[in-house]
Amino acid sequence: MPEQAHYQRSPLRRRPERRLLAVCAVTLAGTALLLALVLGEVYRQAVRQAEVDAGHLVDIIEERLGSTLRRLHADLEYLAVSLPLEAFAAGGGNRWQPAVERQLALQAARFPEIIGFRVLDGAGLLRYDSQSGRAPIAASERDYFLALRDDPALSLHFSPVLVGRNNERPLLIVSVPVRDAKGDLRGVVMAPLDLGNLQSVFDATRLGERGVLILQRSDNGHLLLRQPPLPEGLNRPLADNPIQQRLDAGEQAGSIRLRGPADGVERQYAYHRVGGYPLYVVAGIAAEDYLANWRMLVAAVGLSALLLILALSLVLIRLLRAEREEAATGARLAESEARYRLLADNSHDVIWTLDIASRRLSYVSPSVSALRGYTPEEAVGQALEQWLTADSASRLRGEIERHLKRIAAGDRSALVVTCELEQLCRDGAGVPTEVVASYLFDAEGVPRLMLGISRDVSERKQAEQALRESNRQLQLRLDEIGRLQVALQEQAVRDGLTGLHNRRYLDGILEREVSRARREGSPLSLVMLDIDHFKRVNDTYGHQAGDEVLRVLAATLQADIRAEDTACRYGGEEFLVLLPNMPLTAAIERAEGWRRAVETLTVEHGGVAVTCTISLGVAAYPEHGTTPDDLTRCADLALYRAKAAGRNRVLAYAG
């Protein structure tokens, strides 16, 4: 019977043990699941942040490089169409050389990113150079000449990266063709683009120890620029490059995570094609760099979870074995405590416990001496106000209250606290720290202690501040580039001598005004005028006097036109005034007023009084023409007839 009773009581004794084991298992599984979810979300946020950071960087570099290339392309196209074809003819170099090289030098002076402008003739010989005195070169076998010569449809060419002979900086030759009316190549206008400026931006950018910045061609995949450098890959394609494959498929920008083809390092890449040019920028942040903080968090959470498991295990052992195994349990607890203290005593991070009721430190590891200058004995018992700055103490007190309420409501996600706190040192200074803490419960399930780990993040804060300052400086430079670009755009449509708009600007606005007049049915007049016997003024008084006459005439016109009118220097001593919403009769009256005003002008120059007259031709829409070319031609014919009729008069076009 006693034996039978024994077997009857055994299952009853095992039921509480099973319930305790089940509760502990559920608690540990829930905590592990929660930590896994938190760590997974932090991991995904780190990946997303790396993608965003890389994307922002390539956008900034693409905008800067794209702006530079657009300005350079515009200048090259302007030179290609403005240089007379006679300047490329054999034997014509000496006659045109001073004027052409002066124009090249003026253009190059406004463009610090290039090493001057150069002009080749149809045989590939250097004909003109913005830097006079340079040794002549023969480029008939250079790729930038052969490509434009052999492909009549090619309007812009980028060379491989070259190394400058004088400064050993990377150069990219950008060139456009000069063709005659038949499409035959008469010459090439080229400019070496100094990639050293972009290299300095690459060098100043911090993407971590294993990050990369790349400038690459999209048409053939050749590497042009890389930080850190890869000399053996320069002007060569990277094999099996997935980014190149995406660009070949038509993508303009995007991101991708892969192992670098050149070094096998896993990175989060962002890429962006540079405008409409065969170039693209790539930025890659190594996974080891952007996941460093996440791995630190994993280590801290893992240590906290390990301590929580140890605490639960010790409590479970006490409950299961009760007094029968009290001695053995005490020995195991002592051994566990010894291991814990060994870990805490040898950790570079500060491990501490905080009594929740009194808000005072109940344990501090020896590494507190290196962090704050206090001994562990001095730190133990310190209240929040002695341990933290006023702001950090207030924030931690609020965090504790909020988490206790969430824990009481059953929110298990409130068991872990992660924040940044500024701790007070013995000398009164503050040190920024990253804190990961968890709540420890007593036998009744009430949180009594906070177990935390503090890590000094001073160096990280300094690095973040340096990065912010670097980004601020970069933005300032970009703003300055934007202002310079606006100024250059304005200079491109203004005549340097008179300040009036030039012919290039006129071509655009005349097209728009004719279209508007056609659309709205409104009148439009065009007045073309020319200084009578202007060559005689130059020959008699000199070109400086002639320039002063042009300036005074331009000022006279500018002072007597409406806000919607446009006065342009058409070429040489010819001027053209566009008069929207003005019929022919009114335009003739305006032209007659200008003629009388100029007739009474006296230009003082060098102690000599210079006088002149002007002849004017008037054409109107739609009476004389319905296209810009027709109106310009009719005004020019009217001007010709005014000169033929004796000059110093106004004539309207008469078909």
Nearest 5°: the CA angle 17, 23, 29 is 130
| 148 Cβ contact list (under 8 Å, min separation 6) | 154, 157, 175, 176, 177, 185, 188
Structure tokens at 650: 């106004």
Q: How far apart are CA 266 and CA 238, in angstroms?
A: 16
Which residue numbers in the chain have pLDDT < 50?
A: 1-10, 12-13
Handedness of CA 210, 213, 219, 222 (dihedral sign): negative
Give CA angle at 545 (540, 550), nearest 5°. Answer: 120
- Check: CB of residue 130 under 8 Å from CB of residue 107: yes
Q: What is the pTM of this model?
A: 0.45
Rounded to whole angstroms, the Cα distance separating 528 from 625 reads 15
Domains parsed from the chain with CATH numbers: 83-197 (3.30.450.20), 292-456 (3.30.450.20), 503-652 (3.30.70.270)
Contact of 39 with 291, CB cutoff 8 Å: no
Residue pair 264/238 in contact by the 8 Å Cβ criterion: no
* Two tokens, residue 15: 């039921």
Helical residues (DSSP H) of 249-291, grouped into ranges: 287-290
pLDDT at 9: 41
List the Cα angle 419/424/429 in 5-degree steps: 120
Give pLDDT, residue 110. Answer: 84
Strand ranges across the sheet with 266-273: 223-227, 212-217, 279-286, 266-273, 253-259
Contacts of 226 by beta carbon, 8 Å cutoff, 6+ apart:
202, 212, 213, 214, 215, 233, 234
Cα–Cα distance list, 394 to 339, 388, 399, 400 (Å) = 34, 9, 9, 10
Task: Tell me which amino acid residue 300 is.
Answer: A
- Alpha-carbon span 286 to 295, nearest angstrom: 14
Contact 385, 393 (CB under 8 A): yes
d(CA 54, CA 57): 5
As a whole number of angstroms, the distance between CA 51 and CA 201 comes to: 20
Distance CA 209, CA 17 (A): 53
> How far, in Å, CA of 28 to CA of 316, rounded?
13
Query: What does the block give as tokens for 156?
Result: 């812009």
Between CA 13 and CA 21, with CA 19 as vertex, the angle to 5 degrees is: 105
DSSP string, 127-179: EEESSTTPPP-B-TTSHHHHHHHH-TT---EEEEEEE-TTT--EEEEEEEEEE
Q: In this structure, are residues 497 and 550 in contact, taking their beta carbons and an 8 Å threshold?
A: yes
| φ and ψ at residue 495, rounded to 5 degrees | -80, 125
Complete DSSP assignment for 466-506? HHHHHHHHHHHHHHHHHHHHHHHHHHHTB-TTT-SB-HHHH
Strand 360-364 with 416-424, pairing = unpaired
Query: Could you give phi then psi for residue 183, rounded to 5 degrees?
Result: 90, 5
- Sheet bearing 360-364, strands edge to edge: 360-364, 350-355, 447-456, 430-441, 416-424
Give phi and psi for 208, each to the nearest 5: 95, 170
C-beta separation of 624 from 634 below 8 A: yes
Q: What is the model's pLDDT at position 93?
A: 57
The confidence score (pLDDT) of residue 1 equals 38
Report pLDDT digits (tens) over 238-271. 777 888 888 888 888 899 998 877 778 888 999 9
Phi, psi of 273 (to 5 degrees): -70, 140
Dihedral sign computed on CA atoms, order 361, 366, 369, 374: positive
Task: Please give the positions annotated as active site.
Answer: 573
CA dist list (Å): 255 to 59, 243, 650 = 12, 9, 66
User: Which residue from 250, 261, 254 is spatially nearest to 281, judged by alpha carbons?
Assistant: 254
| Beta strand 253-259 pairing with 223-227 | unpaired
Report yes or no: 158 and 141 within 8 Å, Cβ to Cβ.
no
**Cα separation of 579 and 567, whole Å?**
9
- Strands 650-652 and 614-621, by their bridges, are parallel
pLDDT value at position 370? 85
Predicted pLDDT of residue 14: 57
State how far the Cα of 351 lies from the Cα of 368, in Å rounded to an integer.
8
Between CA 378 and CA 369 the distance in angstroms is: 10
Instruction: Name the strand (E) or helix (H) holding 186.
Output: strand 185-194
Task: Please give the Cα distance from 650 to 192 (Å, whole number).
Answer: 50
What type of residue is 248?
Answer: D
The pLDDT assigned to 616 comes to: 97
What Å distances lie between residue 392 and 384, 386, 406, 422, 543, CA to CA? 9, 11, 21, 6, 77
> What is the structure's pLDDT at 595?
95
